[in-house]
Chain A
């Protein structure tokens, strides 16, 4: 047996022994997803057990170095771990902007001290982060942001407003884009980190069409941020921000349904019913589902290929934009089809039977996938410019 085969066998056995049965069930509602953090209350004992077991091996962040709380796995081993988790439908033990966004940026731009200080608590799910990028006047045109940090010697004093800050009311810390030079557009932004309990930080939840309030308006009123709480150099935060966006886009394309490998038609055939020949009992919907499955399964191949290429250093930096674009558009289609298959059952918004409107709320939530983290139109702009090199793009 090769080393990788041995690793696979050991991983399989370990997962079998350590992944609680409850954690192998599909995610049904928002609180099935574990985000961790200072104020996290576990939904049940299994959720805690699973997080502790995985964090103990560094497998919440399998490919981070062991020194920073990771598992120190190679790209091949990481892929095997994911495949083996997929095999038993194991849930992600921990979801976190610290893992998917800040971590990669910190690993790339952070000092040794910062990595040792900030990363292990992320890996263990002890500190929950939020992302302060967008502002009321600066969405797609992010670089126009106005939140200002005034230099006061050993610290900055930050004033301004962010918006659409996901989970700002639940997060412990924020990574935040702050203008530190008003003269320079691109080279006048710094990437600052601060505690959400700092004086002068307030959040106000925004209600969405799904009825949930996962994000907030976030206000900064004379917030003091010490000078060592910066990633990268002063005024060079845009480089960090862009690097991080690449990882964010990859993540959204994945949670956006891109990485779900199974057939949607097979699942929905159970909802719709089958005819005597075993075919989904609505020929036009069946055809649409077949076309969806072709697109969605083909997409998983692109996702796999880009991951493999990036790990081998063969990737193109604009690839995450393509993943984000295609993955999120697919996820919107997926949920539209789930609604169609469900008929009037999938309209129920408030009832126990419908898991309090699980389907319609998820369907509406997916509409944000092609907006958050950069809109589909912006993704296409990037592909047109960076890859196709079209004039004026």
Chain B
């Protein structure tokens, strides 16, 4: 398979690009930030995502979706990144749907139609500390009657406060550090003994800390098999990491494009600052790195869609490289804007904020470089 978008994927890009630029440009993010919205995103826009078919990209055709792959999801993610669009797409339509695709028909029927329609929002409850360490999940799910009782604490649950349900990773067996014994649950938002506290993040998205104080769920809430949740979680993590890598490509590209434009507008010493070779070389280096990162992300998504054994390695390469490169783009972006780069009025700073949040999401570059080393046997 050639390493560029095929015709169908290019068509998806042709529909996502103008849609996001028209419906949800950076001004849309500002609007939701400034009105201090408790969701941090627009439900209207989420419904439009549904009308466009985006929400159903990863949903199977039998479940009413498009039955497409991670490349197509990545195409949408990149446009989200380029426009800093606030959206539950990553958590719900990428990570959440990947989890539900492994669930029985009851759970799929319960949630997928709402997601496809752009009505339902899911929160992913995986992290338990400030750093992403899914191998060390400790939260307990005790057997109780024919169900389970969940106790523990989750954090960085994006859009958790707006979610209709949370996908929660907990332990039915084994100990922190072991992959055996993890089970995934779909927990409805109004479950008793669950307390959420939402906070606005640096990029204006809302994320929740969630306390589970003996939250009861029935066996029907189990996503996949009891104790075998790692096989589901692996897929969810791969999907979310690949998706966020695409968003990082969008963020980096958006920052870079604005910066290059600025180099062609701003004059000092009687010339355009883009004439200074010191800046030209830094911009050219950044462009070259972005091209590398973009190719790595597409490679990872193609391998995921093929079901290749190399997919996990490449997802980590992609998340690490996209993170490092987008970070370079936003840092160079602010620096090359000079003083106005520090102002709220200019968009470049908003790119820096989104980049920082995405860097942490599902493992930062250090985490993934370490995984590359582990998967390579050193």
Which residues of A are at the interface with B, using a C-beta cutoff of 8 A?
A: 263, 265-266, 268-269, 274, 278-280, 286-287, 289-291, 293-295, 297-299, 301-302, 304-305, 308-309, 311-312, 314, 322, 325-326, 377, 379-381, 383-384, 387-393
Contact = CB atoms under 8 A, between A and B. Distances in A.
Contacts of B321: 294-295, 298
A240 B272 CA distance: 34
Interface string B252-280: 00000000100110000001101101001
Nearest to A262: B376
B373 A290 contact: yes
Interface residues of B, number: 44
Interface string B285-323: 101110111111011000000000000001011101100
Contacts of B284: 379-381, 383-384, 387-388
B4 A308 contact: yes
A85 to B, nearest CB: 19
Contacts of B264: 389-391
Contact of A286 (B288, B299, B373): B373
Contact of A301 (B277, B283, B298, B366): B298
- Determine which residue in B4, B260, B272 has the highest number of CB atoms from chain A within 10 A of its CB, and name it: B4
Contacts of B289: 326
B374 to A, nearest CB: 8
Contacts of A295: 292, 321
A266 B378 CA distance: 6
Contacts of B372: 263, 290, 293-294, 297
Given A314-B4, A380-B284, A384-B283, A265 B378 contact: yes
A390 B280 contact: yes
Interface of B: 2-4, 260, 263-264, 271-272, 274-275, 277, 280-281, 283-285, 287-289, 291-296, 298-299, 314, 316-318, 320-321, 324, 365-366, 368-370, 372-373, 376-378
Nearest to B316: A294
Judged by DSSP, the binding face of A is helix
Contact of A392 (B275, B295, B376): B275
Contacts of A301: 3, 292, 295-296, 298-299
Contacts of B368: 294
Contacts of B373: 265, 279-280, 286, 289-290, 293
B287 A383 contact: yes
Given A294-B317, A390-B274, A383 B295 contact: no
A384 B281 contact: yes
Contact of B280 (A265, A274, A384): A384
A388 B281 contact: no
Contacts of B317: 293-294, 297-298
Contacts of B365: 294
B298 A380 contact: no
Q: What are the 5 A-B residue pairs with the smallest beta carbon separation, nearest first? A: A298-B296, A263-B376, A269-B378, A383-B284, A384-B280
Contacts of B295: 298, 301-302, 304-305
A391 B260 contact: no
A384 B291 CA distance: 14
Contacts of A312: 2, 4
Contacts of A299: 292
A127 to B, nearest CB: 34
